[in-house]
Structure 1
């Protein structure tokens, strides 16, 4: 949950930045800079909606990559700002929906709700899909205790069951991603079946969603969804399917390695400047170059490709980093495009767009095939 900021200040900053940079070339922006290709971004969003439609599912956008709001099981200190947010969006038919995986979280909501309150929080139960990041196991004793607490509470309304296959980022093929997706669906479906069998009377109170929403997905498994995958689960679902994902508008090297997308669909990159050059300094005699973007600009997430990032159109990889600078290494000195000049700007695709985007106070927006800045986007910062 992001902290509330002064929207008027946000708008004023955006207008100042637009006046300064819109119409200029990205060659004129200070580096390091986070660049988004709006055309590719929009195409990626449209492709994901199409996937959900093919699967016959609702779609829930995480939006954590370019940061608006992002949910984890509710913490006590987030309840008040969430209440403020709920009050703001109710007139627009907006709903704040929470994730829960422990009875104490329900107690926190009850304490904050106060006596006589009539509005219930809509909640998903977070199901542990096997990664042990968050959630309770399907058909577990922990799930039974949590459901008993939820269904007996005046503060919450059960909406459905939610799983996220974070380990699916290790997929390297469509069939592997579909296997992760199948596992997600089985987990939430088992939890829903357990709830229906164990709490039939309580669920008939009218305070809880029927049928349940079964929410599954990550960017790799969402890319693997579709009509064929849907047929596997259609026979015995205990609710309505919902697909969710977050990285899909921007994408990155980690997603490219899954083989489910190619470089042409990556909508973001970091623009950095070469500040020094070291011929033959690499362990194997490779040339190296120093850039003005390091761990803060890229994060230290790596991936199966074995680097922190790759230079677009040139045989250079970002192999070492300190806080404020990085070291590029030339992987093919025979390539005529391999030479870099001091002062030259390079465009680098990093491993994990979500962490990279979080480092930047604003994003420069361009259209495919053009260096002209057409807009400035300002992300919502914080938690």
Structure 2
């Protein structure tokens, strides 16, 4: 299916834009600071290693080969990924074959409850990469026949994760419920028939976006592990098959909270409970953390206060949107400006820490861009965004001008990135932090 969504040539894009300043590229544009993304990835990989748990990187936020490499690490020997679309899985194949050629084990989990329309394509991905390379997610008996179809096209039985509802109520079955136990029984039948391989339990704590402290984040992660453990013990298949099921848990706020254990950013009692929980659960299960938006971060993630930062937390946000100011409205009270970027660029997801749809950064291709207080995207429509001072500012003049390029921290990086075909890459650690050093093409399609 990838040939139905041809990607632009990265080489051609590099010939057009590498070396240019950000004030010389077309807008709106999506900018990734490579130095910040790399640092965010290294922090989590180091924390995962220190915790002694496994890791599965979600690629849906950025949908690029380059950032996937940063997420798993260059020398990774156990490459576990999760995708939200089959196009992501198909585009990952060349990279995963590269890792496999270097002796790494590879596995891609299709992280949406399985539908029969996806079985043939997902099976084809498995056939290309080999046995053990794909895993499906299920939470309904009606999805199980599709596993047989996947096996037919892959040439081997796919692994299966059962989605557990640990409180978010988006997908999954409640621990200990009749429907969960019935589903597990039927998966057991399917494994006996050679149609699937039961892998474990998967939960996603999106409600952790409402957390406000590192303590809340790590506590929510522990609750996820405990609830998946309850699910696993209610009808454990591990005794029969002689292996430990995987408990795969996390969301970016809870995942990055693992960093706090080693840095001492949570109190000693909670850190002790975390280590004791892992010790107990890992006797029965393999604990796996998954996360996706953490390499880029955004306003929503910063608002959770899930991890400590050195200096301004917003300085760790690696994705910004570049937009052009088109009009100034000095007669309005408060003053406003119009930029040529709206809902289709930024999305329309709110952030609990402020009222607005994005925040102007204090830096950019133009010096002295924001000098008089924080400017936010206060209103938004399809192609237009209205800029104004946060919380009023009736007597202040906006330090903006027509034709100026401004950079914006988006509320939700996953949504903001979706409107772009490629990212302009900069490096804030270099001598020219606003100069384009690379282009990363983003995968398209479903």
- How many angstroms apart in 1 are the aligned matches of 2:32 and 2:397? 24
Equivalent runs, 1:141-290 vs 2, <5 Å: 141-153=178-190, 154-196=194-236, 199=237, 203-205=239-241, 210-225=243-258, 226=261, 228=271, 230-237=274-281, 238-261=284-307, 262-281=313-332, 285-290=333-338
What is the deviation of 1:333?
4.7
What secondary structure is seen at the aligned counterpart in 2 of 1:160? Answer: strand
With normalisation by structure 2, the TM-score equals 0.78
Cα–Cα, structure 1 residues 118 and 325, in superposed 2: closer, same or farther, change >3 Å? closer
- Residues 200 and 245, structure 2, Cα contact 8 Å, conserved in 1: yes
With normalisation by structure 1, the TM-score equals 0.90
What corresponds to 1:381 in structure 2?
444
What corresponds to 1:324 in structure 2?
383
What secondary structure is seen at the aligned counterpart in 1 of 2:133? Answer: coil
Is residue 134 of structure 1 aligned with residue 171 of structure 2? yes
What is the deviation of 1:264?
1.5
- Residues 55 and 230, structure 1, Cα contact 8 Å, conserved in 2: no
- Residues 120 and 149, structure 2, Cα contact 8 Å, conserved in 1: no
- Residues 330 and 397, structure 2, Cα contact 8 Å, conserved in 1: no
What corresponds to 1:372 in structure 2?
435
What is the deviation of 1:114?
4.8
- Which of 340, 343, 350 is the equivalent residue of 2:403? 343
What secondary structure is seen at the aligned counterpart in 1 of 2:144? Answer: helix
**How many residues are aligned here?**
366
Greater shift after overlay, 174-183 or 247-256? 174-183
The answer for unaligned runs of 5 or more in structure 1 is none
- Residues 106 and 156, structure 1, Cα contact 8 Å, conserved in 2: no
- How many angstroms apart in 2 are the aligned matches of 1:16 and 1:118? 38
After superposing on structure 2, the runs of 4+ consecutive aligned residues of structure 1 that deviate more than 3 Å are 111-115, 331-338
- How many angstroms apart in 2 are the aligned matches of 1:186 and 1:347? 42
What is the deviation of 1:374?
0.8
- How many angstroms apart in 2 are the aligned matches of 1:273 and 1:118? 52
What is the deviation of 1:195?
2.4
Equivalent runs, 1:36-55 vs 2, <5 Å: 36-55=32-51
Q: How large is the Cα RMSD of the aligned pairs?
A: 2.2
RCO comparison, higher one (Cα < 8 Å, 6+) = 1
The answer for unaligned runs of 5 or more in structure 2 is 65-82, 85-110, 263-270, 308-312, 363-369
What corresponds to 2:157 in structure 1?
120
What secondary structure is seen at the aligned counterpart in 2 of 1:380? Answer: coil
What corresponds to 1:79 in structure 2?
119
Query: C-alpha offsets along residues 245-282 of structure 1, whole Å, 9 cap, x if unaligned?
Result: 0000000000111123511111010000000000142x
What secondary structure is seen at the aligned counterpart in 1 of 2:323? Answer: strand
- How many angstroms apart in 1 are the aligned matches of 2:9 and 2:4? 11
What secondary structure is seen at the aligned counterpart in 2 of 1:371? Answer: coil
